[in-house]
Structure 1
């Protein structure tokens, strides 16, 4: 195969001026799409292609902004004067072609490369089914990196599905932040309130809520319960304070914007699910189960947007993938920060939850991520997927391991979420072990190199 430049050069050789039969050059033109950074972020950058049904498939940035990229074909009459030779004929109906515009994405190639390889390394080690990582600029909502990798039958990982945008599932413990904010903002409790873990096993309407540590953590404060990701502490706090009026709790979730899509330009954004009291799906178990991240569904990007709001002092901004659209060097459309919710809670509540999120890394479930060189804050998550069928192999139950947070903890510049689905349970499945190292690697490289 020759590039167009090589073809032009070879065609200038005297031998090939003799034509296809005497000179021996017969050309066949093929258009090949090459992504600027190879397979990295391929799904997000996007493409247009015809699928097996003959339908046009548009995905990613290219699919979402095709009306700007495609341009318009020109038209003019041509007269054939010799074999394969044509000459234009002047005509008043001639239409000049219009070039497509340039899309300037928010993606930082360096951060993207770090995120991709950090995720790939962890997926391969844990022999996981799939995973994703997203890095967002805190103030603007600009997506600086997004990687979605799924395992093929060969064991290799490829970017074929945008899990970060489209996969809505029960988040598990990362959702505990929503309950903590609601409790503090309503002044129902303070982080110093002490709860008894009751042996790490509490029963609600015949169903067990258990802590990951056998025997629980004894009597600990709400803040410490969050840092250790105690299910029993968070469920008690939420249930005791909202059992008589669950609408009050759910209204907080709605006010945060967790019940709505983000309104991304891509097709296939996953729909969040927040049960509403009075709905057919609402039961007496809904409130306690929501307290530790079950019976609700969110996409990774929706969860990240919520945590980024905390990092951004309460202002929730929409994730953006495109900075501007240009025609040559002229900007024809600019995408500035778009505020979804100017204030998800009070400044006092933000200050308290920021302190707790920082302590998760300093002395909680994320302590393995701690570094004396740079600060991080966030929350671990270890969700059981298909848990209703039991834990035997036939049930299909598996773990989704996650870590979501921001860095630096004091003055956040970036927020990041990592979710890895179906890691080999024999090697580990806790969020701090499986997804935490990806988060730390990204933060570490950005701090030291950027």
Structure 2
């Protein structure tokens, strides 16, 4: 059981979710296009390898990102920053990934700042830059990454995360934390770069090769990135993983940014570690679906002519007449159904229309009229042996339920 707040007090290697920062820095520094090519053939580069052991061949930078190719990301970053690795760290600071957040939850000593290695750091080596391209050889909190993605969703404008807006005593506001909340006056990257990376994040779900294509939603659009990073035992890597997905929705006008991180998830069928696309992304989708269902402002307005099918009329026929009229008026629906009869206790005249009633309701109506009732099946009444509206000589009726 954790006794610390994972979102702010744990600094870990973010893994492939960090590739967004890699791409943003490259597009800011150069004039390359996401359609430019990178060779991932063989699936290996220096000490790094792709999850697809043979690589993906010669593919576009865009495809290297949505497929989460470690080889592709490392090659692109090294090509453009090998001669100036500290400039890459400068961009991370521009993106607020190296900032002290100043969050409203106490952070344990030593975890206040993210950890990146400049060339002057004693741990810096020739492997550092390519390793950083895939979100390794660094440590930062989940909230740090969430704030970065939220800036991308917010048209490039970074906002300091807070969980308490105001402190009140009764109706008196004693402190308004939004007044001191840090908000950028300019975006963290150019509009050109922003549009490119937003499209790439969307294609992680909407492209046939995207690592999160399985959670694509037909009702609203999501943009995001999968991530998987190995856990450390002291200074040594283990065979266990953190699996994550960070995304925002709806794409057209983002309202929510969510990070899901799972500690050592396993596939129950294989017993092997589960990755960002197969473990964390489905959890994100489940949460997002519930949020979307509750936020009516995000729902599309559907227009069209009402269909007055016989099935619809049959459903209306099982309604209480007052409820039926109220529903019909609210939805501007014309109906020939009259609903079921309201039956005064002890009434013994006409046979009531029982179609659509549950057995419990039908028994209540009939027994109050003195009928002996037989029935077959389960469910609701679909047929009755006596015609509604008639006055039978014998008070015996058989009901068919389905």
TM-score for the superposition, normalised by structure 2: 0.68
Q: Give the distance between the partners of 2:23 and 2:73, measured in 1 at CA.
A: 8
Secondary structure in 1 matching 2:248: strand
Determine helix, strand or coil for the equivalent of 1:198. coil
How far apart are 1:214 and its partner, in Å? 1.9
> What's the C-alpha RMSD, in Å, of the aligned pairs?
1.9
Instruction: Check whether the contact 2:230–2:238 (CA below 8 A) recurs between aligned residues.
Output: no
- Counterparts in 2 of 1:437 and 1:339: CA distance versus 1, 3 Å: same
Distance 2:276 2:54 in 1: 21
SS at match of 1:344: coil
CA deviation map 1:400-432 (0-9, x unaligned): 000001011121111000111112361542101
For 1:12-91, list aligned pairs within 5 A: none
Q: Which of 384, 387, 403 is matched with 2:230 structurally?
A: 384
Pair 1:388–1:366, CA change in 2 (3 A): farther
Pairing 1:173–2:16 present: yes
Pair 1:368-2:214 in alignment: yes
Query: Does residue 1:449 correspond to 2:294, yes or no?
Result: yes
Match of 2:116 in 1: 274
Instruction: Structure 2: state its 5+ residue gaps.
Output: 296-402
Residue 345 of structure 1 is aligned with which of 189, 200, 204? 189
CA distance 1:287–1:340, change in 2 (3 Å): farther
Matched, 1:251 2:95: no
Change (3 A) 1:352 1:396: closer
- How do 1:156-305 and structure 2 match up within 5 A? 160-203=3-46, 208-268=47-107, 270=111, 271-305=113-147
Contact 2:240–2:273, Cα closer than 8 Å, also in 1: no
Q: Deviations over 1:171-206 (max 9, x none)?
A: 110111111001111124211110110211112xxx
Q: Per the alignment, do residues 387 and 235 of structure 1 end up closer, same or farther by CA in structure 2, a change over 3 Å counting?
A: farther
- Report the counterpart of residue 275 of structure 2 in structure 1: 430
Contact 1:387-1:397 at 8 Å conserved across structures: no
SS in 2 for 1:386: strand
C-alpha contact 2:43 2:52 (8 A) present in aligned 1: yes
How much has 1:340 moved relative to structure 2? 4.6
Cα shift at 1:387 = 8.4
Contact kept, 8 Å, 2:201 with 2:225, in 1: the verdict is yes
1:227–1:359 contact (8 Å) kept in structure 2: yes
Alpha-carbon separation, structure 2, partners of 1:267 and 1:419: 21
When residues 387 and 161 of structure 1 are mapped into structure 2, their CA distance, relative to the original with a 3 A threshold, is closer
The question of whether the paired residues in 1 share the 8 Å contact of 2:241 and 2:273 is answered with no
- My pick for the range that moved more, 296-305 or 416-425, is 416-425
Kindly state the Cα deviation for residue 218 of structure 1 after the two structures are TM-superposed. Answer: 0.8
CA distance in 2, matches of 1:387, 1:238: 28
Q: 1:344 to 1:389 in 2, by over 3 A?
A: closer
Matched-pair contact (CA < 8 Å) for 1:222–1:233: yes
Give the CA deviation at 1:277. 1.6
Structure 1 regions of 5+ residues with no counterpart?
1-149, 151-158
| Structure holding more strand per residue | 1
The answer to whether the 8 A contact 1:316-1:343 is kept is yes
SS in 1 for 2:175: strand
Check 1:214–1:396 CA distance in 2 against 1; reply closer, same or farther (3 A cut): closer
Structure 1 residues 315 and 339, CA, compared in 2 at 3 Å: closer, same or farther?
farther
**Using a 3 Å threshold, how does the CA distance of structure 1 residues 253 and 322 change in structure 2: closer, same or farther?**
same
Q: Once the 2 structures are TM-superposed, how far is the Cα of residue 278 of structure 1 from its aligned partner?
A: 1.5
Residue 336 of structure 1: how far off its partner (Å):
2.0
Q: Which consecutive aligned stretches of 4+ in structure 1 deviate over 4 angstroms post-superposition?
A: 387-390
- Residues paired across the two proteins, number: 285
